[in-house]
């Protein structure tokens, strides 16, 4: 268990239920992305915990706002295939902390947990170990052996322990894409966000997330080819499970670890660098109007707009010319001066 605290707000990341802070108000789900739909599920337990804690004169029975999710992702467990995440654990912690969540519980998802019936899950995990006082789930939440338990089922079981369950309606994006869209097509979901990112539709993905999609990584040594054409780039090492959007060039906004300056405009390339016969996928960022040593620094890169697909140029000079055009486009995008 790791205690991550900042500005007086602590998030407990637990790979087991030993040492947890109890009693709890719990939001249940996968929460990959912590998108606008997830935020609606989390809101009731924040409100409930604050309300009940205000009514108590001491901290003896303090209720901890808690998000309970699974690790590894259940899909990874059942398929045996690594599952790329919109928000790896460290990033999920950051997002939950910003919302005011005090505790994150990562239930180890394996054969034992997968075999629990809905009744056993409620009794053993929620009641006995988490001492749950309040639960919030999305209306499409499923749990227990073979996903046999539904949100309504959870409400019924929890009522036996006098635990209220808030079922949050599926959230849809602004007015649907069209009047012919089904609820499934219009819902805010992790899979839809992944689809938009894979297609380079960054603005749509950001709308569903409620914030810019972000890549957070440490700057490592690259081939330094950018220096030879006066466009030095920071080569980012990302968590291996981080979901990458479409390969190509992006207008981005960059924050540097321990740097108090405002976000810096940047051009980012995700790809194999075919012009220089690259063979490995890299994520490289060129910062506009900025000079300094970034090695070993953590960068937080917010994606604003997909500019173009990656392409192979006949020479480094042609590549340099295109990067100059990318920088101009980025300045226009980040200054709100697009002609679209």
* Any domain includes 340: no
pLDDT at residue 331, rounded to an integer: 94
* Any domain includes 146: yes
Residue 62's domain spans which residues? 2-168
Do residues 134 and 251 share a domain?
no
Do residues 206 and 216 share a domain?
no
Do residues 135 and 249 share a domain?
no
Tell me the two tokens of residue 15.
């790979």
pLDDT at residue 317, rounded to an integer: 81
* Any domain includes 62: yes
* Any domain includes 91: yes
Boundary-marking domain end, from 152, 187, 210: 210
Residue segments in the chain with a per-residue pLDDT below the cut of 70: 1-18, 49, 51-60, 174-185, 222-230, 273-279, 337-340
* Any domain includes 338: no
pLDDT at residue 327, rounded to an integer: 93
Tell me the two tokens of residue 242.
């981080």
pLDDT at residue 5, rounded to an integer: 45
pLDDT at residue 53, rounded to an integer: 64
* Residue 246 DSSP class: -
Do residues 149 and 12 share a domain?
yes
pLDDT at residue 274, rounded to an integer: 52
* Any domain includes 235: yes
The CATH number of residue 268's host domain is: 2.40.30.30
Gap between the terminal Cα atoms of the chain: 49
Boundary-marking domain end, from 191, 210, 229: 210
Do residues 87 and 177 share a domain?
no
* Any domain includes 339: no
Do residues 325 and 306 share a domain?
yes
Do residues 138 and 148 share a domain?
yes
Do residues 253 and 158 share a domain?
no
Do residues 236 and 197 share a domain?
no
Do residues 87 and 163 share a domain?
yes
Do residues 58 and 206 share a domain?
no
Tell me the two tokens of residue 171.
């959230």
- Which helix (H) or strand (E) segment holds residue 179: the answer is none
Do residues 83 and 152 share a domain?
yes
Tell me the two tokens of residue 188.
């805010």
The CATH number of residue 23's host domain is: 3.40.50.620
pLDDT at residue 127, rounded to an integer: 95
DSSP track, 83-135: --BSS-HHHHHHHHHHHT--EEEEEE-SHHHHT--HHHIIIIIIIIIT-EEEE
Report the number of distinct structural domains present in the chain: 3
At what angle are helices 36-55 and 89-99 packed, to 10 degrees?
50
**Rounded mean pLDDT of the chain?**
85
Please tell me whether the peptide bond between 23 and the residue prior to it is cis, using omega within 30 degrees of 0: yes
* Any domain includes 315: yes
pLDDT at residue 286, rounded to an integer: 93
Alpha carbon distance 215, 244 (integer Å): 8
pLDDT at residue 293, rounded to an integer: 85
CB atoms within 10 A of CB 128: 11
Boundary-marking domain end, from 111, 142, 168: 168
């Amino acid at each position: 268990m790791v205690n991550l605290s900042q500005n007086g707000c602590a998030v407990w990341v637990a790979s087991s239920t030993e040492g947890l802070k109890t009693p709890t108000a719990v939001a249940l789900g996968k929460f990959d992305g912590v998108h606008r739909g997830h935020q609606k599920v989390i809101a009731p337990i924040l409100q409930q915990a604050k309300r009940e804690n205000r009514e108590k004169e001491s901290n003896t029975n303090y209720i901890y706002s808690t998000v309970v999710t699974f690790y590894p992702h259940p899909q990874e467990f059942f398929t045996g295939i690594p599952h790329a995440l919109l928000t790896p654990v460290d990033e999920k912690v950051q997002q939950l902390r910003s919302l005011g969540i005090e505790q994150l519980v990562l239930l180890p998802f394996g054969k034992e947990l997968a075999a629990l019936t809905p009744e056993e899950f409620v009794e053993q995990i929620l009641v006995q170990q988490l001492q749950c006082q309040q639960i919030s789930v999305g209306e499409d939440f499923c749990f227990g052996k073979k996903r046999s338990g539904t949100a309504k089922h959870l409400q019924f079981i929890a009522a036996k322990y006098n635990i209220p369950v808030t079922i949050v309606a599926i959230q849809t994006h602004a007015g649907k894409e069209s009047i012919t869209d089904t609820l499934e097509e219009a819902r805010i979901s992790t899979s839809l966000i992944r689809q938009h990112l894979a297609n380079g539709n960054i603005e749509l993905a950001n709308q569903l997330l409620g914030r810019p999609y972000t890549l957070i990584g440490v700057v490592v040594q690259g081939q330094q080819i950018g220096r030879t054409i006066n466009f030095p780039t920071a080569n980012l090492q990302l968590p291996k499970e981080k979901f990458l959007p479409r390969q190509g060039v992006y207008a981005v906004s960059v924050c540097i670890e321990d740097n108090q300056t405002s976000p810096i405009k940047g051009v980012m390339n995700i790809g194999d660098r075919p012009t220089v016969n690259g063979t490995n996928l890299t994520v490289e960022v060129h910062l506009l109007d900025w000079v300094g040593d970034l090695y070993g620094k953590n960068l937080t890169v917010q994606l604003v707009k997909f500019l173009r697909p990656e392409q192979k140029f006949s020479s480094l000079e042609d590549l340099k010319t295109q990067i100059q055009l990318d920088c101009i486009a980025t300045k226009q995008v980040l200054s709100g001066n697009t002609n679209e």
